[in-house]
Amino acid sequence: MKVLIIDDSSDALALAKVRLGKENLAIITAQSGDEGLKLAEAEKPDLILLDVDMPEMSGFDVCHQLKTNKDLCMTPVIFLTGSDNTEDKIKGLNVGAVDYVTKPFDAFELKARVNAALRTKRMQDLLIEYANIDPLTGIPNRRALTERLRKEWMRVQRHGGKLSFIMADIDHFKKVNDTYGHSIGDEVLQRVAKAISSQCREIDLPARFGGEEFAIVVPGESAEGAGKLAERCRQATSDVQINLGTEDVHVTASFGIAEVSDSPSVEALVKAADEALYHAKQSGRNQVSTDTSPEETAKK
């Protein structure tokens, strides 16, 4: 794990580095609050050791800026207090630090406090990861999808560019469950999730939307570009084959696409993709549709 130490004293930096040297940590250092904030932004450390007493920007000011930064507010901070000043310690904890270490550092205490903070950070990372992953398929869940879609939406509103959204639904999935049982149904979901993910680029976000529905956030692409991706996903899904000994289980999926330029809001974009999906279902399933005109009697 990566630890950033911010301290204006080069002696203190060198000492902390030596003290933590054997802990198998990647250690980066900065000698001012300003430099530290930039480094934190660029390197996303797992823990920040922060000197309270620095010229120009104090450790408290640095901590305040960290805690109001959306990308850095979850990074734990341990204050390095120069003296046994109780007021500083309390103030440090109040501005969001998880702990403090008094200088000059006791080697064992520094290591113990750093390791304790990193244990908590690992737990926190794991919880965030679990909160965003669909446990059955191992791909991002609807929460992660919605968050990413909102981010991409904001990005397009600010900077322009393209953004498309794909909704997919496994055809006649209920029949799979009814015919072969839920464990085969689960395997189908897992294999389709894998098939769809395998076609996505690094910047796309494939997710399980719920039930037998999947969705993909496709940044930088018009409906036409997203259509090519959806077509590859459709093909990959129809290639899925589960061998039951006596027979093979095959499935197909239908895909609907909408692009951001036609939608006034995130909700409208999702709805439009869902309507296109409806058209794909209506036109015989196992196909991709970009027809987002609303249907009166929508029933999939």
Instruction: Give least dist CB 212 to Mg ion, A.
Output: 59
CB contact at 8 A, 49 and 4: yes
C-beta of 98: minimal distance to Mg ion in Å?
20
Residues 148-207 that bind Mg ion (CB under 5 A): none
Q: Which stretch binds Mg ion (CB under 5 A): 3-11, 114-122, 150-158, 217-225?
A: 3-11
Query: Which residues contact residue 5 at a Cβ distance below 8 angstroms, ignoring those fewer than 6 apart?
Result: 13, 16, 17, 27, 28, 29, 30, 48, 49
How many residues interact with Mg ion (rule CB under 5 A)? Answer: 3
Stretch that binds Mg ion, among 49-57, 97-105, 158-166, 187-195 (CB under 5 A): 49-57
Stretch binding Mg ion (CB under 5 A), from 48-56, 138-146, 147-155, 264-272 = 48-56
Residue with tokens 């956030």: 217
Do 225 and 164 meet the contact criterion of CB atoms below 8 Å apart?
A: yes
Output the smallest distance, CB 12 to Mg ion, in A: 7
Active-site hit among 35, 56, 147, 212: 212
Residue 186: CB minimum distance to Mg ion, A = 57
Q: Which amino acid is at 289?
A: S
**Rounded to the nearest whole angstrom, what is the least distance from the CB of residue 222 to Mg ion in the complex?**
54
Question: Nearer to Mg ion by C-beta: 10 or 68?
Answer: 10
For the packed helices 182-199 and 223-239, what is the interaxial angle rounded to 10 degrees? 140
Per-residue contact track with Mg ion, 94 to 113, x per CB under 5 A?
--------------------
Q: Which is nearer to Mg ion, 3 or 216 (CB)?
A: 3
CA 235 – CA 240 distance, rounded (Å)? 9
Residue 52 Cβ, how far from Mg ion at the closest point, in Å? Answer: 7
For this structure, is 296 an active site residue? no
- Could you count the other beta carbons within 10 Å of the beta carbon of residue 227? 20
Q: Kindly give the residue spans of alpha helices, DSSP state H, lying in 1-106.
A: 10-19, 33-43, 59-67, 86-94
Scanning 47-55, 139-147, 201-209, 237-245 for contacts with Mg ion by CB under 5 A, the matching segment is: 47-55
- C-alpha–C-alpha distance, residues 246 and 181, integer Å: 15
Query: Could you give the 3-state DSSP secondary structure of residue 78?
Result: strand
Stretch that binds Mg ion, among 52-60, 158-166, 210-218, 282-290 (CB under 5 A): 52-60
Nearer to Mg ion, 82 or 96 (CB): 82
For residues 51 and 152, which CB has a smaller minimum distance to Mg ion in the complex? Answer: 51
Q: Are 265 and 283 in contact (CB under 8 A)?
A: no
Q: Does 8 bind Mg ion (CB under 5 A)?
A: yes
CB 125 within 8 A of CB 118: no
Position closest to Mg ion via CB: 53
If the CB atoms of residues 51 and 171 are measured against Mg ion, the closer one turns out to be 51
Q: Does 53 participate in binding Mg ion (rule CB under 5 A)?
A: yes
Which of 5, 15, 20, 51 touches Mg ion by CB under 5 A?
51
Distance (Å) of CA 193 to CA 12, 32, 158, 159, 206: 51, 47, 32, 31, 8
DSSP letter string over 114-171? HHHHHHHHHHHHHHHHHHHB-TTT-SB-HHHHHHHHHHHHHHHHHH---EEEEEEEET
Nearer Cβ to Mg ion, position 34 or 53? 53
Helices (H), 200-293: 223-239, 266-282
Active site residues per annotation? 212
| Interface residues toward Mg ion, by CB under 5 A | 8, 51, 53
